[in-house]
Every structure is written in C-alpha cells, then in structure tokens.
Amino acid sequence: MVSSQAERLKPYAIDIRSPVDPVDWFLAGKDDVRSSYYLEDVATEFHVQGLELDWACVTWDADFRHSPSGWQNWSFKGNRWLHIKNEERKKYQKNAYRVLLTRARQGMVLVVPEGDVDDHTRPPDFYDSTYHYLRTIGFQEL
C-alpha cells in the first residue's frame, strides 16, 4: 500500500496511476495475478480505508517526510517536489498515512526507499530522516 500522492516510487515498479480493482485485489485467490498475494498492484488509502488486513506492506514516499523540525508535506508536480502550504491539504496527507498505518491486524512491514543520488527527485536525504525517525520510535529493521 502507498499514499495516493506517492509519485516517485515508479523506479520500484510501484505506480499509483495504474488502477487496481479492489474486488480482485482483496478477494481473488493466491492463483490470481490481480490479487494482493502477487504484490504486483498497489492499493492506496482510498482502496483500504475502513478495511482490516491481516498483513500489510506500506511503502513510504517523499511526499510526507520527517525532518529535524517535524513532518513536512510535499506534492510532486511535473519533475519536482513542491512544498504543500495549505493546512487542509497537510491534514489530508497526514490522514492518508494514518489510514495506511492502521490497516494491519497481525503485522506490517514498512519500506522506506534508500533514494538515489543520481535522481534529483529521489535523493537519499528525502528518505533518510523518515527512516531514522521510525527506527527511534521502535520500528525494527528487517
């Protein structure tokens, strides 16, 4: 699962613009490539809101980043990140991650990408502070 604003996960074959059929994703069996078992299609907070999952895998993008001064809100437009200033949009984005982080009943894996020094849209420092923050609040590294 990812935020619906996770625009820079395509290098990891995670494309939020590729629509998922929630019925197939949630209900199809282990032999159906459209199901969540295959980990080929990604669901956003819109697809999973109000549902409980046994296990969840959430991949974090640079849209909601932790920094030494707290959480920062970003939106990817064109070929660059823009800082979100509107308070309502900030609340919406924070809530999107709350939804994603509260779906799992048995366990959850969080993936925070390393970034790429050769990609100006995904430098490691966009992700490192979030990773370190999550470690300090008790998330274990696998």
Give per-residue pLDDT as tens, 49-60: 888 999 999 999
pLDDT (tens place) for every residue of the chain, 142 residues total: 999 999 999 999 999 988 788 889 989 999 999 998 888 899 999 999 888 999 999 999 999 999 999 999 999 999 999 999 999 999 999 999 999 999 999 999 999 999 999 999 999 999 999 999 999 999 999 8
Other Cβ atoms closer than 10 A to 64 = 21
∠ Cα 110 64 97 (to 5°): 55
What distance in Å separates the CA atoms of residue 107 and residue 41, rounded to the nearest whole number?
Answer: 20
- The pTM of this model reads 0.90
Kindly give the pairing relationship between strand 53-59 and strand 64-67.
unpaired
Query: Which 3-state string (H, E, C) describes the chain?
Result: CECCCCCCCHHHCCCCCCCCCHHHHHHCCCCCCCCHHHCCCCCEHHHHCCCCEEEEEEECCCCEEEECCEEEEEEEECCEEEECCCHHHHHHHHHHHHHHHCCEEEEEEEECCCCCCCCCCCCCHHHHHHHHHHHHCCCCCC
